[in-house]
Chain A
Amino acid sequence: MAEITFPIGPIHPALKEPERFMITVEGETVVNADIRIGHIHRGIEKLVESRTYIQNLYLTERICGICSFTHTTNFCQATEDILGIAPPPRGLYLRTIVNELERIHSHLLWVGVAGHEMGFDTLFMYSWDDREVVQDILELMTGNRVNYAYNTIGGVRRDLNQSVSDKLLKGMDFLETRMKAYVDIGLNETTILKRTQGIGILKQPEARKYSAVGPRLRACGIAYDVRKADPHAAYGEIPFDVITAETSDVHGQYVVRALETIESIKMVRYMVKNLPAGDIRVKAPRKVPPGEAISRTEAPRGEDIHYLRSNGTDKPDRLRVRTPTMANILNVAHTLKGAQIADVPMIVAGIDPCMGCMDRVLIIDNDKETSNMVDMEELRKYAIEWYKEAPNR
């Protein structure tokens, strides 16, 4: 059978993070997959060099629209590391609380996206509705829903008062019952089992070989979590379990994310109840002495790393950012090989990239040298129909 190559992606003006996958298929089976990233390269690493540390807080916040807090945490931690200052315990706890709230909202968002990709829109509606609860808490606590502007070098910018923390705990109780329902759905609902089990399998040796990160890695049975491996902020003092799954497939990632959210809810509750008293920030000097630091955090999608080099002025000399999707995209290209076309959306959605990449599909038939445009919606519908025709595929 002739091989056909078609690109998925790269761009949709309304969404973020476009990537292009060049997929070579033989019949229904993917035989090769190649990645092209950089379509929305914004030159942030260069821009950082011409801004002061305070200005860069707002710039690094805008690296990602979903895990914005993890980037400012990283930038603050690296700067604090070079300055040799440590935020007060209360500041660290508040920072950690927002980090975990961000994980809860990001994982709920993923459950919805995964539900949508597999044609299970009811799940999408419910999980995004529940996500509003955590979004409201974030807005109440920080003042914003997306770019919180909560972190600063030396601590955080707003304190938590009694009425907000009461609402926070109430929201956590509600979300815990809801999350238990999502775990139940994930383990028993036929639609989810059919579309995720045995799909996108990444074996442990390959996961290590391609240095996978985050839930993708933990779904392969490797208990690796930066919160445990490199305890930053208040993570060293908070009890929590690292969730793993043994199945190595997309279903494993669903289970890991759902159970991880419950862990996060417990952590937030623990931190609010054991919040130390005192200041929330220390004053940091404007100029940073020459030095270098690496800061690592566990973003919702995996490990996020900032490497900062300072030169004694009020502007950084170099900031290097490695985002989790950059690390995971390599193993996606690997797991796509041997998959069915209909499973491509689920495998790519599995690592929780931004779905902008999947929005436009161009199919080129090498034999006829014709090309026609298909958009992502059609590929999604095609996948749902393909499974409907013969549910036992």
Chain B
Amino acid sequence: MAEEKTIQTLTQLFKSKGITAEFTAPRERRIFITVEREQLKTAILTVFRELDMWHLISTSAVDAGDHFEALYHTASENKTITFKVILSKEDPTLPTITDILPAAVLYEREFHDVMGFIIEGHPDMRPLILPENWGDKGYPLRKDWVDPRKKGGDA
């Protein structure tokens, strides 16, 4: 399988750069790489240079119950690589990747809007999809979020 070969190459490359990561390939053309928050940028840069990639296709924020997950979906001509960062509920802080991938600028704003991730070093953290007067009504995609209308407030 082509994915296993890619994973082998990347494992060796990551080892030489001191990046700890976990690889999975659930099906053809899909690779998931779990990395530490501090090493996210180095990991993305390493993979992009090695595989000659440029395309950030999406990001996803997931509330997995006892922790958060931030996913960065990237793609090249024949594979889809997802970088996964596990964050604790107490400290959902992420470094910005807009300096290496400017296309992330809107996605990172959405990260903050829906899941309350704090993006360090982001140039522009205005709300993206929530209204300006949203205030402290919480982060709607968290599992413990309750609709303010149910508590007697307005939406």
Q: Please give the residue numbers on chain A whose beta carbons come within 8 Å of chain B beta carbons, in ascending order.
A: 37-38, 41, 43, 45-46, 81, 208-211, 213, 224, 228-230, 291-294, 296, 303, 305, 307, 309, 317-318, 320, 322, 326-327, 329-330
**Docked-complex contact B29 and A230, CB < 8 angstroms:** yes
The distance in angstroms between the C-alpha atoms of A118 and B46, with both chains bound, is 45
Residues in A with CB closer than 8 Å to B130 are 38, 41
How far, in Å, is A140 (CB) from chain B's closest CB? 35
How far, in Å, is A295 (CB) from chain B's closest CB? 10
**Docked-complex contact A318 and B75, CB < 8 angstroms:** no
Q: Mark B23-57, 1 if CB is under 8 A from A, else 0.
A: 00011011010000000000000000000001111
Residues in B with CB closer than 8 Å to A303 are 57
Residues in A with CB closer than 8 Å to B101 are 211
How far, in Å, is A19 (CB) from chain B's closest CB? 11
**Docked-complex contact B54 and A296, CB < 8 angstroms:** no
Residues in B with CB closer than 8 Å to A318 are 60, 62-63, 141
**Docked-complex contact A38 and B128, CB < 8 angstroms:** yes
**Docked-complex contact B27 and A81, CB < 8 angstroms:** yes
Residues in A with CB closer than 8 Å to B106 are 37, 326, 329-330
* B73-131 at interface with A (beta carbon < 8 Å): 73, 75-78, 80, 82, 101-103, 105-106, 114, 127-131
**Docked-complex contact B103 and A210, CB < 8 angstroms:** yes
Contacting B80 at CB < 8 Å: which of A209, A210, A294? A294
Q: List 22 A-B pairs, Cβ < 8 Å.
A: A37-B129, A41-B130, A209-B102, A211-B57, A229-B75, A230-B75, A291-B26, A294-B73, A296-B57, A303-B57, A305-B58, A307-B60, A307-B71, A309-B64, A317-B62, A318-B60, A318-B62, A318-B141, A320-B61, A322-B58, A326-B106, A330-B106
Residues in A with CB closer than 8 Å to B148 are none
Residues in B with CB closer than 8 Å to A322 are 57-59
Closest residue to B62 on the A side, CB-wise? A318
Residues in A with CB closer than 8 Å to B128 are 37-38
Contacting A38 at CB < 8 Å: which of B57, B60, B131? B131
The distance in angstroms between the C-alpha atoms of A208 and B74, with both chains bound, is 12
